[in-house]
Chain A
């Protein structure tokens, strides 16, 4: 499985935008980029996914570089509830659909 690299941690202020980076230089053409997050004492939660084009949903936006070697998860207005570990995951299509989690990035939100 292709690997992703994320910073260990990031801090943000409440109500400000947050940009969480992810590098995946060995991504293959059929790999989808998925983001999950895990709030304290909870199971992981799906956030967003994309293949080539930027994606928006009610939770976040996903910006994918043109060469697909990196992506950025954007939370438009961070809230205290967004404090969590965010995982960037590459998921091949056509393969069994397990998720391979790395260490993720721990986001802290200051009030």
Chain B
């Protein structure tokens, strides 16, 4: 158990809908990262927040957005969903920002868009 929690574990929704994925980092960790894992693209970095501020963006679509709240939990919002958005979404946390060596990953949320 990494100490990172993600909810829900599974999500099934229809095209065009909007969903929110939630992540609670390990106690004391200020950084939260979101990754997407699909069969054809592998594990891809989406976005990084540190203590409530966005620090870096990766291959995140404009239809996706994220935020980190004052209690440090984070939400990833996916809207106008398409079939290709079906994937595993992982959240990871680390203690600090660029000086942190380890990222701790949650169990993931499996999103199925039908």
- The residues of A with any CB-CB pair to B shorter than 8 Å are 32, 34, 38, 42-46, 49, 87, 93-103
Contact = CB atoms under 8 A, between A and B. Distances in A.
Contacts of B107: 42-43
Per DSSP, are chain A's interface residues mostly helix, strand or loop, or mixed?
loop
A49 B42 CA distance: 21
Nearest to A42: B107
B90 A44 contact: yes
Interface residues of B, number: 27
Given A43-B105, A43-B106, A46-B104, A97 B92 contact: no
Given A43-B2, A96-B98, 18 more contacts: A38-B43, A42-B108, A43-B108, A44-B103, A46-B102, A46-B104, A96-B56, A97-B31, A97-B33, A97-B94, A97-B97, A98-B33, A98-B56, A99-B35, A99-B103, A100-B45, A101-B44, A103-B42
